[in-house]
Amino acid sequence: MAKDEPAALVMERVSISPKECRVAARGQIDLYSAPAFKTALVEAIDAGMTDIIVDLTEVEFMDSTALGVLVGVSKRIKLLGGSVAIVSPDETIQRVFELSGLAKRFDIYDSEAEAVGRPRF
């Protein structure tokens, strides 16, 4: 890959419990890669996961398309009585949530351990 080419998006899902999983993204989530991001999250829901930790630790860049995917997934999960938590220690990614007003909608954690141990209501 040339130095100025965007990093490909790589998705990975790991089960934590029968209803909880971590979906980790690595690379960039933008207009072109958002469909793969959405597919990975929808597949987790279709597999019966109602508590999803979206790990953005290795995401280098995300745009409003990624936020739209997260909002849509969050709405679907809430209808199932579940939750979506975000993991991102990166201040730039956290700032994207703050500037969009979505920091209040999502629980954002610095680590997976914090997200797994979060209280559920």
**Contact at 8 Å (CB) between 23 and 52?**
yes
Contacts of 1 (CB under 8 A, 6+ apart): 7, 8
**Contact at 8 Å (CB) between 43 and 52?**
no
Q: Domains in the chain and their CATH numbers?
A: 10-116 (3.30.750.24)
12-27 residue pLDDT tens: 999 999 999 999 999 9
pLDDT value of position 43: 98
26-74 residue pLDDT tens: 999 999 999 999 999 999 999 999 999 999 999 999 999 999 999 999 9
Q: Which amino acid is present at 40? A: A
* pLDDT band per the 50, 70, 90 thresholds, residue 1: very low
